[in-house]
Amino acid sequence: MDTTKIRQIITDHFRKTLKTLHRDGFVVGLSGGIDSTLTAHLAVEAMGPKKVLGVIMPERESSPESKALAMDLVRKLGIEHQEVDLTPSLEALGAYEKRDKVVRRYLESYTPGKHRVGIALRQDLTGSSMPPLHYLTIEDEKGVLLLEERIRLRDYTELVAATNFKQRSRAMQVYYWADHYNYAVLGTTNRDELLLGFFVKLGDGAADVEGIEGMYKSELYVLAKAMGVDQRVIDRTPTTDTLPGQKSQKGYFYGLDFNTLDTGLQVLEGLLTVKQGAERTGLEEAQIKQLVDNLKRRNETTTILRAPPTGIGRAPLAQYL
């Protein structure tokens, strides 16, 4: 992988697009994860530290490590930052309360702060066409599993709607600061997330400029290493920081290691053949085919997340008469 060339393509894109958008710099929400950290590195390489603002948005359930790593990044890159505690906004929106109401249908004694709630998926992406089954999990403060129960459809959608307040509140803040400084918002969506719909529309999916959406997750690690990203960020288990009991993206959404997942996505996108996919992963060709079928279905069912608002067209209505 030619990391020098990739850096050049992305930083050129940042510089060029900023001019087109008539904005003076970039805002990026910093989560302490590899996607936002790498994006901030690229933004600084493109524009210099004075034209990049980092926004750190902890809330009462986010990992303290997220904030600490984001603060270290701000210091390392020498960029300005704003810290906004999202807890009061999320409380005002009823985000915690709405979620907890759902969880109490499964465990009446559920106590936020004491118990940690998460969603686990059961699926076999390489061995079965069965879509994933969603289970609500609740752990106590020691990490002991108290409950793992298949979640009902309406409870699941209600829970997702409530937790999506977090990503959308983050988006509101980065856009506030973007408007405040006449900056553009840099997105941090990577290719896995883009293709599989692992982002919240108008939440972490909201951005003016994207940098890494052409890169698979496993490629990000290579680029991060080449750019001198903090090793703690590289080693950190990816998390969305949305549900306190959510251990990792792998557990929640992907169900596979990133090398296998990315290989499947590359086959899906026609960059590799099934045979090459099998050779790269050590899986049987039938397993790769099954994986690709499952990824394709997931890509199709998340179309709404990637689609712009669907109108009749952008031209005056008269043209369609």
By CB under 8 A, name the binding residues for other proteins.
Answer: 121, 128-134, 150-153, 156-157, 293, 297-298, 301
Task: Select 86 or 295, whichever has its Cβ closest to other proteins.
Answer: 295
Task: Select 1 or 161, whichever has its Cβ closest to other proteins.
Answer: 161
Task: Select 21 or 130, whichever has its Cβ closest to other proteins.
Answer: 130
Task: Select 113 or 131, whichever has its Cβ closest to other proteins.
Answer: 131
- Of 38, 255, 59, nearest in space to 168 by CA: 59
Q: How far apart are CA 23 and CA 45, in angstroms?
A: 17
Provide, rounded to whole angstroms, the least separation between the CB of residue 300 and other proteins. 8
Provide, rounded to whole angstroms, the least separation between the CB of residue 195 and other proteins. 15
**Count of Cβ atoms closer than 10 Å to residue 5 Cβ:** 9
User: Is residue 75 a contact partner of residue 243, using CB atoms and an 8 Å limit?
Assistant: no
Task: Select 121 or 202, whichever has its Cβ closest to other proteins.
Answer: 121
Contacts 24+ apart (CB under 8 A), 220-225: 220/34, 220/35, 220/38, 220/190, 221/34, 221/258, 222/1, 222/3, 223/1, 223/3, 223/6, 223/7, 223/38, 224/34, 224/37, 224/38, 224/41
Question: Rounded to a whole number, what is the distance in angstroms from the first to the last CA of the chain?
Answer: 51
Q: How far apart are CA 235 and CA 225, in angstroms?
A: 11
Burial of 151 by CB count in 10 Å (0-12 exposed, 13-18 middle, 19+ buried)?
buried
Task: Select 7 or 289, whichever has its Cβ closest to other proteins.
Answer: 289
Burial of 40 by CB count in 10 Å (0-12 exposed, 13-18 middle, 19+ buried)?
buried
DSSP label at 205?
A: T
- Of 86, 56, 59, 55, nearest in space to 177 by CA: 55
Task: Select 129 or 231, whichever has its Cβ closest to other proteins.
Answer: 129
User: Is residue 62 a contact partner of residue 70, using CB atoms and an 8 Å limit?
Assistant: no
Task: Select 182 or 301, whichever has its Cβ closest to other proteins.
Answer: 301
